[in-house]
Structure 1
């Protein structure tokens, strides 16, 4: 898989399902057994990865991916994406992907990293996580903000949501830890385990977070760490 011109085939046991989650009926696409011989993506990360500090509050390090990976997303998934998110092919613009490894220990978390977040407050992209690790590394959960009932954020909701965030920030009991399930401020509405070669996709404006267990070992080695391929599908 080191050849950027190579397009890996789909896994022979590729399968998918579409779930509708929460009160706001958020669509989630779950693909199991995405690419054939996905283990080679681990090898690429080890041999060619150039990891550096993550961007946009990502609590770890990130690296570029082989060009063929975006090609695989854009070749194999458009029809399924359209089905799951009520789009047409013309809505899909392009994709952008990075390898990601969570490394930040709880004691070094910034407050925004301790609570669920959205990637955008506009309906401009879809987020997807392709797990290249095993379930004990922690999957991904979607959340509802208890005080407002918000599962999705939008520009119109930010004033009231921001007021609640300011109040909740004064309670330091939940700071400096990864959220992993419901707490006093957020209710977990869906959880997806990090099965190897599973890909999940959801709207980027839904509240979500990696579900990092308390006994998590923060390891920078892609082979034994929580390696994921994180992508955005940009929409027109």
Structure 2
């Protein structure tokens, strides 16, 4: 199927809201019941997924999403993006989406995977997480760095933030574990639990992390694992 002949319809109980989180008043777009029969996206991952090691420190495996999903985002989201993030349609340029399955156990995490991260330090894109899993698989949390007060990162902030990261890296007590809520270095400022067919969108320079519970079962099967569709909306 191609974007020219198919677009999945919206769920009949589609609803959305726009939250404002943290001291820096960052918008987060939350959509529940996004696409009708979203189980088809799960089925596509099972039947056609070609999962391989993730890129850019993603702690698991990833696979390309179907083209019709890209078309659905381009069809249904622009007006909501403009409302939530104070943009115009001409600012929006969509990029391909990726299926993602978290598989890396805590004992194998690199230090950057144990703390909140950003996808960019430039205001050039928005990030989307579309959950195709059950609530017990863990959602997504947003954070404030306690010492600096930073919730978003920028080129101007990286020198001082980097200095603190070097100091905090010497404390081994928080290595080799997924952050799941506040710790001594980061304060959780927003939390969104996984819910099947929920999509959240936020600026990519916002500190965030998947909230992986301690009893999480790392399973490569898309049906029972933490399957998400991760997308970036690039801004012109």
Range into which the TM-score falls when normalised by the shorter chain: over 0.9
TM-score, normalising length: structure 1: 0.98
**For structure 1, which runs of at least 5 residues remain unmatched after alignment?**
none
Conserved? CA contact 1:28–1:201, under 8 Å: yes
TM superposition shift of 1:95: 2.3
TM superposition shift of 1:96: 2.0
Please list, as runs of the form range in 1=range in 2, the aligned pairs for 1:7-156 lying within 5 A after superposition: 7-156=7-156
Helix, strand or coil at the partner of 2:93:
strand
Conserved? CA contact 1:74–1:95, under 8 Å: no
> Using the alignment, how far apart are the partners of 2:29 and 2:82 within structure 1?
11
TM superposition shift of 1:6: 1.9
> Using the alignment, how far apart are the partners of 1:21 and 1:94 within structure 2?
25
> Using the alignment, how far apart are the partners of 1:95 and 1:8 within structure 2?
18
> Using the alignment, how far apart are the partners of 1:232 and 1:93 within structure 2?
9
> Using the alignment, how far apart are the partners of 1:74 and 1:157 within structure 2?
33
- CA offsets, 1:49-100, max 9 Å, x none? 0000000000000001100111100100000000000000000012221000
Conserved? CA contact 2:65–2:96, under 8 Å: no
How many equivalent pairs are there?
Answer: 234
TM-score, normalising length: structure 2: 0.98
TM superposition shift of 1:131: 0.0
**For structure 2, which runs of at least 5 residues remain unmatched after alignment?**
none
Conserved? CA contact 2:135–2:196, under 8 Å: yes
Helix, strand or coil at the partner of 1:150:
coil
Conserved? CA contact 2:126–2:201, under 8 Å: yes
The residue that corresponds to 1:194 in the other structure is 194
